[in-house]
Every structure is written in C-alpha cells, then in structure tokens.
Structure 1
C-alpha cells in the first residue's frame, strides 16, 4: 500500500518532517542528543545542527541541553518541543486519514498493472 510522508514548510528557510520529529522523539526517549544521534546513525554534529535549526525556526528552544561534566550532560524537550511533536503527529494522522481512500485507489491502479 502506498504511504504518505509529511513535510511542513515553516518559513522560506525552515521545514520539519519525519526525520526531525524522530530526532526530537529520540532525544525525549534517551535524554541525550548524542544517544539520539547514535540511535539514528547520524553524527552528533548533524543532530546538534538540526536541533539548532529547529530552535531558530521556532524562535525558542525545542530542546533544553545541559553540557557534560562529572555527572554527564543531558537533553530534554521543552514544552514547545513536546507541542511540536504532538502537533506534527496529529497533522500526520489527519493527513493519512484524509488520503486513505486515494491511497487505496492508487494501490488498485498498481494492482491492476
């Protein structure tokens, strides 16, 4: 069955899609940008750059990070970060639901070959 992938253009230079949302979800799950990056097989630098880009686009932090030290650092989503993930997933569900009949029709075209 065909699937829908959502990407939202936020400003001329910013957008958010499944990859950035997954990064935020991984940061929330692991409490660490570094662990989230490893889990997604990307460099820490790339993950950090994505977080910084999201913070810039939204004009406020989506991730609160503490630098490492004796007890180590950590990261967690801010209330804005949690809201962005929640809203994106809600939009994704609504889009998938709205497109379901059309996706089935596409699959029928594929099956008819």
Structure 2
C-alpha cells in the first residue's frame, strides 16, 4: 500500500510555522553542508533560503544553522543542536501524522474512480 501523501504545516503559534519547505531546507543543509547547495537542490534562491533560515532563527530565538564565511578556505553551514532538534521533532510529527491517517487514506483510495 502506498504511503499517505500530505503536506504538514505546524503552526507553533500565531507567527511561527514549520512546514515541509523549512524542514527540507534544514535537511539539505545537514546533508550538503551548504545553504546555497541546499537551496539549489530545492530550486530555491540563496536569498530565499536565507530568509527561511532567518525566520527560524527569529522564531526560536537562537541559530538553527551555524555558518562559516566563504573565501579562500571555503564556507559552509551546519545545523546547530537546536536545528537538529527542530528537524527531528518535525519529522517525528510528520511520521505520527502519516501513521494516524493511513487507514483513512487507504479507504479513500479504494473509493477513487480510475
């Protein structure tokens, strides 16, 4: 049976939200060590990637990503412990939701006319 597909956006409060875009960006930074590479992987501009990281930093009151300035030795980025926690918690919430809706999604799929 196919895994339920959904887009989860968690509204943490009136101003702070965490969804698949921010989570995928954090995952990309973790995997590539680069904000620009993570953004490219998502077909997102560096500026937009930075805006999302800045929003997370503001929302959580501390950096979610550590950066090193580029240049001769190269730059880079990595998730802070807070960034790892934010990503991990979002993925756990996402997995719990997928499990919770699996039976209903399967029932709806059976009702599709194809």
CA contact (8 A) 1:33 1:44 kept: yes
Count of residues in correspondence between the two structures: 112
Q: Give me the CA root mean square deviation.
A: 1.4
Q: Give the structure 1 partner of residue 44 of structure 2.
A: 42
Alignment of 1:1-113 (within 5 A): 3-111=5-113
Moved segments of 4+, more than 3 Å: none
Structure 1 distance, partners of 2:82, 2:68, is 17
CA contact (8 A) 1:20 1:50 kept: yes
Give the gaps of 5 or more residues in structure 1. none
What is the TM-score normalised by the length of structure 2?
Answer: 0.91
3-state SS of paired residue (1:70): coil
3-state SS of paired residue (2:12): strand
Give the gaps of 5 or more residues in structure 2. none
Structure 2 distance, partners of 1:37, 1:99, is 30
